[in-house]
Structure 1
Amino acid sequence: MTMSDLPGRQSANGRTIRTARTRWRMRLTGLVLLIVGAVALVPMEGALAADNAFQPTLPGAESAIRAAYAQAFTGGGDQAHALAAVDDGPALAGTLALAAQNFPQAVETAQVTVSNVTFNNLFNAKVRFHITYQGGADFGERDGTAVFVNLKWKVSRETYCTVMGWAGATCPPRAGLPPLNPAAAQNAIRQAYAQAFTGGQDPAVVLAAIEGGQGLAGTLAQAAQNYPDIVASSTVTTSDIVFTDPWHAWVRYHISYQGGGLGSTGTAVISDGHWKVSRATYCSVASLLGAVCPAP
């Protein structure tokens, strides 16, 4: 009988060999990870300047940001071209149109100067800018941001909407998941707004187009009593409709009436299986006529 014939000897040797191999694999894996980590740090070292400010690894990033700000905020050009330099720009066409309507000279003559660009990371940068124009207040130098989206540097949506706010134009929220038939839903929302805010109709018809309208009869009656000419002569137009989810939408609308008009934003909701003007929106308009909605 040899040593290899002893019970358990072969099994013990096998375990010893397997254990040694496992240790070597672990050591090799650790060495590979160490090398990969060191290689990954090399470009990062080159991306840090002496003052520890992040610098982009791709050349031309700063000039691309300056060009995007110039494209977005220089007046007198094609609006679609300007919005192409803004994150989510096409969705903000109605906002730019309203700004141009409110302050046409300012939008037409706008010029922008970028004094400084500081990169936060590869996809975001802080921008110091100043927009000058005729026919409006000068807001001075401001801090904005630029973002790298779809392989291009663009003015951030937040910065652009802040500037549009100077002209009294509110940006819609980012679009969410729409309903199955967006076109039909938009038509239903427009009809609901027309039904709720067109004067000269039976109160029951008006209230049927409002979320929880059955509880707002007294509010409508109070508004009509306070301002009968406005309530009787009102008409409404809706422009932007943005779905935030399949059951809610953001709406830009304008109510015209004898002697004036009101432009604002509101919401629409699915209620009782139909698109209706939200209770909050209707109560906001009613409050301008001195009518208070009861607690829901």
Structure 2
Amino acid sequence: MVFARLGRRPRLAALAAAAVLVLTPAVACSDDGEGRYDGSETSAPAGTTTAPAAADEPDDPAAAQAEITRNWTAFFNPGTPTAERVKLLENGEQMQAVLAAFGGDENAAATSAKVTGVEFTSDAGANVTYDLLVGGAPALPDAQGTSVLQDGTWKVSVKTLCGLVELSGVTVPGC
């Protein structure tokens, strides 16, 4: 497949493997929705005040960061089934063809991601810094991606997925 012509360029091969991982069917936990703000009002104990969350972050930034980290780890885990990845990708239902494009490639089994930072850009968006790992070693350290809150779940953005596909040198319909 794509990797045969990349044999002499290990960094490009690692990036291609990363893109394949993202697109390969692969059991992981997904968020069950607990811990998210449900819109109900609560009152503070007497003698305390509550400050509203900043407009550039979610109501509970710590919970949102934990969910982003959990969901990104699952999305980039080669053991996560495609059906779960669909739920963890922005517009996942429309991106199923992209997710299936590289199905079955053995190089994807060695690729994963480790979130190293989350910075909120709004109450429904975040910049994510992550290391893309191949065989446990950083192939693309300090990579930048984005996460979006869609349908109550923090998801890997299509922009991030398509950026990795583009880095691999592969053209995939939908990106």
TM over 0.5: yes
3-state SS of 2:101 partner: helix
Extract unaligned runs of 5+ from structure 2.
1-53
Describe the superposition over 1:123-142 as per-residue Cα deviations: whole angstroms up to 9, x where unpaired: xxxxxxxxxxxxxxxxxxxx
Match of residue 182, structure 1, among 61, 81, 85: 61
Q: Quote the Cα distance in structure 2 between the aligned partners of 1:287 and 1:249.
A: 21
Superposed CA RMSD: 2.2
From the CA coordinates, give the structure whose radius of gyration is larger.
1
Question: Percent identity among equivalent residues?
Answer: 29
- Counting only pairs closer than 5 Å after superposition, residues 76-87 of structure 1 correspond to structure 2 as none
Residue 125 of structure 2 is matched in structure 1 by 248
Residue 107 of structure 2 is matched in structure 1 by 230
Residue 31 of structure 1 is matched in structure 2 by none
Q: Quote the Cα distance in structure 2 between the aligned partners of 1:176 and 1:249.
A: 13
Residue 98 of structure 2 is matched in structure 1 by 219
- Counting only pairs closer than 5 Å after superposition, residues 1-296 of structure 1 correspond to structure 2 as 177-224=56-103, 228-258=105-135, 261-263=139-141, 264-289=143-168, 290-294=170-174
Q: Quote the Cα distance in structure 2 between the aligned partners of 1:284 and 1:216.
A: 14
Contact 1:176 1:244 in 2 (8 A): no
3-state SS of 2:93 partner: helix
What's the CA shift for 1:293? 4.5
Contact 2:131 2:138 in 1 (8 A): no
**Bigger relative contact order, structure 1 or 2, given CA contacts below 8 A and separation 6+?**
2
Counterpart amino acid of residue 139 in structure 2? G
What's the CA shift for 1:286? 2.6
Contact 1:219 1:286 in 2 (8 A): no
3-state SS of 2:62 partner: helix
What's the CA shift for 1:234? 1.7
What's the CA shift for 1:191? 1.2
Describe the superposition over 1:148-193 as per-residue Cα deviations: whole angstroms up to 9, x where unpaired: xxxxxxxxxxxxxxxxxxxxxxxxxxx9621111100000101111
Describe the superposition over 1:180-227 as per-residue Cα deviations: whole angstroms up to 9, x where unpaired: 1110000010111112111122111112100011122221222335xx
User: Per the alignment, do residues 230 and 176 of structure 1 end up closer, same or farther by CA in structure 2, a change over 3 Å counting?
Assistant: farther
